[in-house]
Structures are given as structure tokens and as C-alpha cells.
A and B are shown apart, each in its own frame.
Chain A
Amino acid sequence: MNGADATAAALELDGVGFDYPGRRVLEDVSFSVPAGVFCVLLGANGAGKTTLFSLITRLFLCRSGQIRILGRDVRHEAQRSLSQLGVVFQQPTLDLDLTVRQNLRYYCALQGLPTAICGSRATTPWALWGCSSVPTTRRASSAADSAGAWSCWRAMLHRPACCWRTSHRGLDIHSRQAIVQQVRDSCSQDGGRRALATHLVDEVRLEDQVVVIHRGRVLAQGRAAKILADTGSATVHDAFTALTGGPDG
């Protein structure tokens, strides 16, 4: 990768803080997601996950602290850093007036990729589901039940170093398992430069990295096995409750 530090973490936050008018939402948030790692960000509602997501994806400008993707500051090298980030939003963000193929071609254009890549890379998930080609039905609205799955695959189309996913909306059991497994496999490909961040506890394995956020602060970060040992918990859910003090904490 031209100009990027080969040993840089896929995603790194350093002293990030953010205020809404009259309210401090994030305070000195620092964590690092190394390349080739599946990272899970855990936090209750109102912990600051959405704000963090908006800062990393540059929907908001980060004025306090630094956010780096593959060693590139998101604020000062936006173009290069965003090209290494794949994002799955809570809304599917597919244009319902276009076909799935047209949506993927549009995404390729937004990422500066030749649209021919869309044809070859996009058949992979469809093959996993036992079909032979990208659907070219008249409207994406008729494929709305798989819109969430297509949003996930679309985020990986340009082979980003870091993929950030916020929700399971629109995913059925099989497509969710297929997507998670595919992304875990891709973490070890491309020389181990891929990382995924999500905030859902169901997908955590012992070797994954976990970051626990509570009320805008990072309470714990590290491998899931270490966090379980430190908190003396049997499951990640119990460890999270112990760290944050439960729903009333």
C-alpha cells in the first residue's frame, strides 16, 4: 500500500473526544484494532457507539484526538483513509429504484473501482447461496429481504482494510453466518490486513478482540479470553455486565 505503514493497525483511535452542545459524549477514547483481527465493540445504548461510528466514517469531524486507518489520519488524509474503510449502515442504503447489480455498480463508481470488478467479486456471495449470478431483477425493492446481506457484501467489494458493521438488520440466520464466516476468513487473507468491527455480542469468539465502551469511556480492551479471565466471567455477556454494572449502571 503506497505510503502506508506496513505494520500500522487497521484502525486506531488515540484520545478521541466529542461533544454535542452541552453534553460530553466521548472522553479520551483510545483503542487499536490490529490487522487480521475480528474486533467487537460492546456498549449499551447511549454509550457513544453511534458517535464513534460517525467520527470514524467522517460523518462528523474529529477535533479532539486522532483516528487513523492503516496509519493515515482520517481528518488530514480523508481520501486515502476512507478508501480503506468499508461501512455497513443501519439502513440498507440501497436505491430501491435500481436493480441490485446497478446498486453495486454505483458503489464501485463511488469507490473509484472499475465496474467490471463488480461482476466478478459480487458473484461470490451469490454462489454461497447457491445461485449463479447477481440478481438483475427490475428493482432492489423486490430483493428487500436480502438488502441487509447485500449491504454487507457491498462494503467488502473494494477490499477495505477495515470493515465497520453496525447492525444485523435484514439478515436471516443463514446469510448472517455466511457473512460472518466470510469476513473472518478474509481477515486472514491479503497478508492479514483486514479487520472487522461490529457491536454485537453474539459473534464474539475467545480469540477476538473486545472493546467495552460505557458512557463515552473505554472500560476494557483486549482479547476476549483475557477479559473473561480478568472479570472472572464465563461469557462475554457476563463480563460486559460486570464491567458496566448492568442495565442500571
Chain B
Amino acid sequence: MSARDPGPGGLRFLHQRERFFGALVRPLVWLFIFAAGFRSILGVSIIPPYETYILYEEYIVPGLAAMILLFGGMQSSLSMVYDREMGSMRLLMVSPFPRWYLLLCSSLPVHWCRSPRCICFSLSPGSGTCGPPPLGYLLCFQPCCCQIDARRSGLFLSSGDQTAREFRRCDELRDFPMFFASSALYPLWRIRDSSVALYEICRLNPSPGRLS
């Protein structure tokens, strides 16, 4: 099994273009509707790594890109639950290759398929002036630790005896707190002003802050 073979995951990405554009809807809604409405209320003072006063839209774009990667990483493990229900997982189990190698080969295309969504979002109108520097686009393809964490936690949950529907419900209970309870939407100093407990939770959350 080699990197040249795209496998079912890669081929599904090429054939299911509606899923590609569907995954961009949520972050674009946040950007165009929520961020535009909050522009006049929330300005973000100078905080690292920024060197000047920035608009709220510019602050939220990395977090929304992280949303695509985070949600995609966890939802990709739904495909493993589906494979288990359909019996396709057994084909992997009886392969002579070591299982860690099979897991790596199935995970890497998933990460690389998420990255074009992230890049398309960064290039979309509205985020165009807030997009990353050129090196940032290249870094989107790195299977960063948070994507791996997200997929790994999804795989751990999918190992339980669950149907795909049950898994999707658990997935949502996990995805939303991981994204919202973080520095992705608001700077931490602003959260601390309203709640110290929430500030500590957001500070300790490793996901979107680290991704962005």
C-alpha cells in the first residue's frame, strides 16, 4: 500500500464535491454575518502575534479556519464507524500490513483533503484581506498535532459499540465545546473580564488557539 494509491478516502474527496462546499458554509456564515455584526462592537487591541490594532473579522479568520480542520478531523472518524457498519473495516483488519501503517495511510489523505477547504475559505471574499501570509497556505497541509488529536479522539470514541447516528451525536457534543470554549472567537483577556472560570477553561483548551 503506497502513497501513490489515493484509496477510497481520497477518491471520495474527488467525487463528492458537494461535501467540500458544504463544509465551507458554517465558517463563511460566521465570517459574513456574525463577524460583520460584531465589527462595530468588538475591536481587538494589540495582542501577539499582531503588531497593530485589528478588526474583529481579522481576529476570527484563523479561528474559523481552525474550525474547518477541527470539525473535519473529528467527523472523518465517522467514516470509520460507517466502515465498521458496512463491513469495509474487516478488509483492513485482514490485510497483512501492520495496523499502525494502515491507520497512518488512511489518516494522511484525510488531513490533506481538509487543507484545500481551509485554503478556499482563506481565499474567499471577505476573508481575502484577512488571509494568512503565503507561508501560511503551505502550513495548512501539515498534519498538525491538533488535527491528529481531533481524529485520534474521534477514533477512540468510535471504537465503542456505536452506530453512525449515535456517534454523530457524541461528535457534536464534543466538537462545539472544543471550539467555543477557546480563544478562537474572543481574546482571552475579554473572556477573563466576564468569567475567570471560563477564562481558565479557554486558556487550557489546546485546540483552536493552537491551530490558529
Contacts and interface: CB of A to CB of B under 8 A. Distances in A.
Nearest to A90: B87
Contact of A109 (B2, B12, B93, B94): B2
Given A82-B94, A106-B7, A112-B96, 17 more contacts: A57-B94, A58-B94, A79-B97, A80-B96, A89-B91, A92-B87, A93-B87, A93-B91, A95-B8, A97-B8, A97-B16, A98-B8, A106-B5, A106-B8, A109-B1, A109-B2, A109-B5
Contact of A107 (B86, B91, B102): B91
A110 B93 contact: no
A164 to B, nearest CB: 10
Contacts of B7: 106, 109
Given A106-B5, A109-B1, A97 B96 contact: no
A97 B11 contact: yes
B195 interface: no
Interface in A180-215: none
Interface string A94-120: 010110001001110111100100000
Closest 3 CB pairs of A and B: A91-B87, A83-B96, A82-B96
Given A93-B87, A93-B91, A95-B88, A105 B98 contact: no
A2 to B, nearest CB: 14
A3 to B, nearest CB: 14
Interface residues of A, number: 27
Given A95-B8, A106-B8, A82 B95 contact: yes
A59 interface: yes
A6 interface: no
Contacts of B90: 57, 59, 87, 89, 91, 93
A128 interface: no
Given A58-B93, A79-B97, A98-B11, A110 B87 contact: no
Contacts, number: 64
A82 B94 CA distance: 7
A14 B15 CA distance: 48
B92 interface: yes
B84 to A, nearest CB: 11
A33 interface: no
A108 to B, nearest CB: 9
B97 A57 contact: no
A162 interface: no
Contacts of B1: 109-110, 112
Interface in A55-95: 57-59, 78-80, 82-83, 85, 87, 89-93, 95
Nearest to A80: B96
Contacts of A87: 90, 94
Given A97-B11, A97-B12, A97-B15, A111 B86 contact: no
A112 B102 CA distance: 12
20 contacts: A57-B90, A59-B94, A79-B97, A82-B94, A82-B95, A87-B90, A89-B90, A93-B90, A97-B8, A97-B12, A98-B11, A106-B7, A106-B8, A109-B1, A110-B1, A110-B92, A110-B102, A111-B95, A112-B1, A115-B5
Nearest to A56: B94
Contacts of B88: 93, 95
A4 to B, nearest CB: 14
Nearest to B5: A109
Nearest to B105: A109
Contacts of A110: 1, 91-92, 95, 97, 102
A187 B11 CA distance: 36
Nearest to B89: A93
Contacts of B87: 89-93
A153 B79 CA distance: 26
Contacts of B94: 57-59, 82, 85, 87
A90 B97 CA distance: 22
B104 to A, nearest CB: 14
A89 B93 CA distance: 12
B90 to A, nearest CB: 6
